[in-house]
Amino acid sequence: MIEITHFLVLAIILFSLGVVGVIINTHNLIVMLLSIELILLAANLLFVSFSFFTQNVEGQMFSMFLLAISAAEAAIGLSIILAYFKAKGTISINQKDQMKG
Amino acid sequence: MILPLIVFTPLFMAILAWIILPHFKPISTHILTTLGVGFSMILSIILFVPFFHFVPQTIELFPWIPLEGYTTYWSLKFDPLVGVMLFVVTTVSFLVHVYSTEYMSHDQGSSRFMMLISLFTFFMLFLVTAADFLQLFCGWEGVGLCSYLLIGFWFHKDSAIEAAKKAFIVNRIGDLGLIIGMAVIYYYFGTLEFTQIFDKLPTMINISLPLGFSLMDFITLMLFIGAMGKSAQFGLHVWLPDAMEGPTPVSALIHAATMVTAGVFLMVRCSPLLELAPVTKDIILLIGSITAFFAATIAITQNDIKRIIAYSTCSQLGYMFMAIGSGFYTGAMFHLFTHAFFKATLFLGAGSVIHAFSHEQNIKKMGDAFRHIPYTYAMMWIGSLALIGCPPFSGFFSKESIIHILSHTSGSIGTFAYLVSLFVAFLTAFYAFRLIFLVFHGKSNADDKVVAHIHESPSLMLFPVIMLSILAIFIGVMTYRLFLNPDVRFWVGSHVVLSPGVHYSLFDPVLLLPILGIVLAWLIYIKEFPINVFCKTHLTLIYEFLFTKWRIDELYTVLIINPIFSLANILWKMGDEKIIEGIGPKFLTQTTNYLGNKIKSLQTGYISDYIIVIFIFLVLLIPLIFFGSYK
């Protein structure tokens, strides 16, 4: 029998994977974007599963909004990456002087 | 009403000249300032000449410092003493103004120059008409300031700037004495006004200060230190020869005729106090005789025409202080009076000589000029004869009277002063005629180019010198009764302490001394007896000592300037840089820098590092949501 706990554990694992992906990824902006998507999806999964187990449809509505937002975000992110690539010739973020204060 | 006009016209003209200076041609300021001082001069003569019936008065203009129980006023005082000074200052100043319009006409800053000497004239008049010490001090500082500005008039010359600074600083040392004297006077007398001080004198005679000073001795000694600075007495004289860096009219007006005699004026003004201070009088007598002697001995070895006359001024000021020290105040005033005219003659004559020799000042590089510049030659003769005290000239009356009084002065210092005055009379004649013989006679040592260019000065420069030389001839014989004969009652109302009259004799053996000096100068520099060469080769030590001006400057460098410099160095390196800056700004900035550097390493520039930090704090914040007051 699948319970809500399983969904929570899965969501936490997905979320942690996303965070770790953002943190340890130092080479590729696209990978970073994917990791952020993963974080969003983990949140999405929580919305859907709580909606299902509490018999409440509001959570599923929220998940639709979230999907739309993440799609828009992905589009903006990709276009930023494209512009970045055009300007720098690389999409590596391992450049020390880029954001040094 | 006439007195404020005399005093404030030069100031008004100086300000006017300053305002219009950028808009008009220089000639306008020349005319303006000269007319202003000329106006003052005419009014002064009107005051001075029908003098015998004039009522001494004080005009209070408006209150200055209202203190509890005592208010100082800006005021103008008039009495015989002031009248004499007004006459001297305005006359010499006017003639110097006229002279300068031509002498400075080729200088870029001639307007500034005229403005400054006009301003100087105002301050000098302000000084002598002061009714209290405070206003006198204002004028005193004002003339010091103008002297500084005018010595450094050619500010592109380093030597001029150095000389100006030297004059200013040395004068400050003297002024400290004057300020202390004023403070003590105010403390004991409760007033600074001359008349009130003199009225209160009888109650103050027996007061004594700690360390065994009597009050009068201390006050007058401090005032004398002030006078020493201004009047270039031995010890504080070092600025006067250097002040010759300024333009020649300045030397004539400020450093011969007027400002340097302010010290003598102050002493004569305070003569009732001095009469009660026997110790100070002895000190003044001693310092005066040392000054007269040392300056005369230096003058015989110098080669710069202006410096010779400057040392001569120093020496004559010594005579004046000798007269004051022996209680002969009227004689000091009389010598001040005649000296102003003949010394201004000499200086302006020297200016003409320098002008003729294309700005050459070394008398060894002149010679055989009397045919080319006959008028200047005659003026220099008149000035020199008056200086050495040749009978019909003005210097005779004043100097003879001082020597006469000194011969009656008791005490060992009195005897010393008398001998010095005799010897200096001889030296004076020697250096005055050494100058004349080297400049005007003998063979010419100048370049051919310079010789071809020797020319008499224009009439605008000759006129003042001729006027001054006429005064130098006749003023003595005209006024000696006025000054020195107590029966004439000239000094009534001025508080000046009088002394018995002096009788002149043309057969005084003292008169042989200047003649001896002239003969010696004639033998050496015309007949070319090699006495001077003998002195240079066989008495090298003495000659060097005199030629290097008694090594006073070197002595001060070693004794005062170097220790102050090393002390300042220590304070700078240790006190300021190490302690004050080390604890204050440097410590704070270094700590801030250090901490900033440490914190800076958090700011790596990696996005991932920032994200770690964000998540760490996010995780730390979660308990707050559950347990904090947020709930």
pLDDT tens, B472-522?
Answer: 999 988 888 888 887 777 888 788 888 877 778 777 778 888 899 999 998
> What pLDDT does residue B456 have?
86
Task: State how far the Cα of B231 lies from the Cα of B175, in Å rounded to an integer.
Answer: 12
Task: State how far the Cα of B61 lies from the Cα of B591, in Å rounded to an integer.
Answer: 61
Tokens of B406: 């000194």
By the 10 Å C-beta count (0-12 exposed, 13-18 middle, 19+ buried), A84 is classed as middle
Share of chain A above pLDDT 90, in %: 47
Per the CB < 8 A criterion, the answer to whether B232 and B290 are in contact is: no
Instruction: Say if the Cβ atoms of A100 and B611 lie within 8 Å.
Output: no
> What pLDDT does residue A98 have?
60
Instruction: Say if the Cβ atoms of A22 and B603 lie within 8 Å.
Output: no
Residues B559-574: what's their mean pLDDT?
92
Alpha-carbon gap: A37 to the closest alpha carbon of chain B (Å): 15
Alpha-carbon gap: A70 to the closest alpha carbon of chain B (Å): 19
Task: State how far the Cα of B461 lies from the Cα of B99, in Å rounded to an integer.
Answer: 5
Task: State how far the Cα of B270 lies from the Cα of B263, in Å rounded to an integer.
Answer: 11
Residue A63 covered by a domain? yes
CB contact B606 to A (< 8 Å): yes
> What pLDDT does residue B510 have?
81
With tokens 């319009």, the residue in question is B101
Instruction: Say if the Cβ atoms of B606 and A26 lie within 8 Å.
Output: yes
Instruction: Say if the Cβ atoms of A96 and B610 lie within 8 Å.
Output: no
> Of the ranges B226-230, B240-244, B275-279, B366-370, which one carries the lowest mean pLDDT score?
B366-370
> What pLDDT does residue B629 have?
62
Instruction: Say if the Cβ atoms of A22 and B608 lie within 8 Å.
Output: yes
Task: State how far the Cα of B552 lies from the Cα of B549, in Å rounded to an integer.
Answer: 6
Task: Kindly list the residues from chain A whose CB atom is less than 8 angstroms away from the CB atom of residue B606.
Answer: 26, 93-94, 96, 99
Alpha-carbon gap: B607 to the closest alpha carbon of chain A (Å): 7
A29-75 pLDDT tens trace: 888 889 989 999 999 999 999 999 998 899 899 999 999 999 999 99
Instruction: Say if the Cβ atoms of A100 and B610 lie within 8 Å.
Output: no
CB contact B49 to A (< 8 Å): no
Q: What are phi and psi of B60, to 5 degrees?
A: -90, 120
Task: State how far the Cα of B187 lies from the Cα of B184, in Å rounded to an integer.
Answer: 5
CB contact B604 to A (< 8 Å): yes
Alpha-carbon gap: B598 to the closest alpha carbon of chain A (Å): 13
> What pLDDT does residue A96 have?
54
Residue A51 covered by a domain? yes
pTM attached to this predicted model: 0.81
Across the interface, which of B600, B605, B612 has its CB nearest the CB of A97?
Answer: B605
Instruction: Say if the Cβ atoms of B605 and A26 lie within 8 Å.
Output: no
**C-alpha B389: how far from chain center:** 23
Instruction: Say if the Cβ atoms of B605 and A19 lie within 8 Å.
Output: no
Task: State how far the Cα of B426 lies from the Cα of B519, in Å rounded to an integer.
Answer: 10
CB contact B610 to A (< 8 Å): yes
Average pLDDT score over chain B? 89
By the 10 Å C-beta count (0-12 exposed, 13-18 middle, 19+ buried), B111 is classed as buried
Instruction: Say if the Cβ atoms of A23 and B605 lie within 8 Å.
Output: no
Whether B447 has a pLDDT exceeding 90, the answer reads: no
Alpha-carbon gap: B608 to the closest alpha carbon of chain A (Å): 5
| Residue of B324, B432, B452 whose CA lies nearest to B385 | B432
- The interface pTM score, or ipTM, of the predicted complex is 0.75
CB contact B617 to A (< 8 Å): no
Q: Which of helix, strand or coil describes residue B305?
A: helix
Instruction: Say if the Cβ atoms of A25 and B608 lie within 8 Å.
Output: yes
Residue A14 covered by a domain? no
The C-alpha torsion from B93 through B94 and B95 to B98, rounded to 10°, is: 120
Domain count, chain A: 1
Residue A53 covered by a domain? yes
Share of chain B above pLDDT 90, in %: 53
Residues in A lying within 8 Å of B, measured between beta carbons: 19, 22-26, 32, 93-101
B220-250 pLDDT tens trace: 999 999 999 999 999 899 999 999 999 999 9
Whether A100 has a pLDDT exceeding 60, the answer reads: no
Whether B626 has a pLDDT exceeding 80, the answer reads: no
How many Cα neighbours within 13 Å face the side chain of B79? Answer: 18
> What pLDDT does residue B454 have?
85
Whether B606 has a pLDDT exceeding 80, the answer reads: no
Alpha-carbon gap: A61 to the closest alpha carbon of chain B (Å): 26
Task: State how far the Cα of B522 lies from the Cα of A33, in Å rounded to an integer.
Answer: 112
B201-215 pLDDT tens trace: 888 887 888 777 889
Alpha-carbon gap: B592 to the closest alpha carbon of chain A (Å): 17
| Residue of B44, B202, B49, B69 whose CA lies nearest to B129 | B44
Across the interface, which of A23, A96, A101 has its CB nearest the CB of B612?
Answer: A23
By the 10 Å C-beta count (0-12 exposed, 13-18 middle, 19+ buried), B541 is classed as exposed
Task: Kindly list the residues from chain B whose CB atom is less than 8 angstroms away from the CB atom of residue A33.
Answer: none
Q: Which of helix, strand or coil describes residue B246?
A: coil
Residue A20 covered by a domain? no
Residue A86 covered by a domain? yes
Q: How many CB pairs under 8 A join A and B?
A: 33
Residue A81 covered by a domain? yes
When pLDDT is cut at 50, 70 and 90, the band that residue B52 belongs to is: low
> What pLDDT does residue B123 have?
95
Q: Which domain holds residue A45?
A: 27-92
Instruction: Say if the Cβ atoms of B605 and A98 lie within 8 Å.
Output: yes
Whether B253 has a pLDDT exceeding 80, the answer reads: yes
Whether B428 has a pLDDT exceeding 60, the answer reads: yes
Mutate which of A22, A23, A25, A35 to test chain B, going by most B C-beta atoms within 10 A? Answer: A23
Across the interface, which of A25, A32, A100 has its CB nearest the CB of B605?
Answer: A100
Task: Kindly list the residues from chain A whose CB atom is less than 8 angstroms away from the CB atom of residue B605.
Answer: 95-101
Across the interface, which of A23, A32, A96 has its CB nearest the CB of B605?
Answer: A96
Instruction: Say if the Cβ atoms of B605 and A25 lie within 8 Å.
Output: no
Instruction: Say if the Cβ atoms of A19 and B610 lie within 8 Å.
Output: no
Query: Alpha helix (H) ranges present in B129-247?
Result: 133-151, 158-189, 194-200, 215-230, 239-242
With tokens 């720098």, the residue in question is A88
Whether B630 has a pLDDT exceeding 90, the answer reads: no
Across the interface, which of A19, A24, A101 has its CB nearest the CB of B603?
Answer: A101
CB contact B607 to A (< 8 Å): yes
Residues B552-562: what's their mean pLDDT?
90
User: Could you say which DSSP state residue B55 is in?
Assistant: P
With tokens 């300032």, the residue in question is B33
Chain A residue with Cα closest to B599: A101
Mutate which of B608, B609, B610, B615 to test chain A, going by most A C-beta atoms within 10 A? Answer: B608
> What pLDDT does residue B287 have?
94
With tokens 């605008």, the residue in question is B460
CB contact B579 to A (< 8 Å): no
Task: Kindly list the residues from chain A whose CB atom is less than 8 angstroms away from the CB atom of residue B612.
Answer: 23
Task: Kindly list the residues from chain B whose CB atom is less than 8 angstroms away from the CB atom of residue A24.
Answer: 608
Across the interface, which of B600, B605, B611 has its CB nearest the CB of A23?
Answer: B611
Residue A12 covered by a domain? no
CB contact B605 to A (< 8 Å): yes
> What pLDDT does residue B365 have?
87
CB contact B615 to A (< 8 Å): yes
Whether A95 has a pLDDT exceeding 70, the answer reads: no
Q: What are phi and psi of B192, to 5 degrees?
A: -120, 0
The answer for B 449-488 residues in CB contact with A (under 8 A) is none
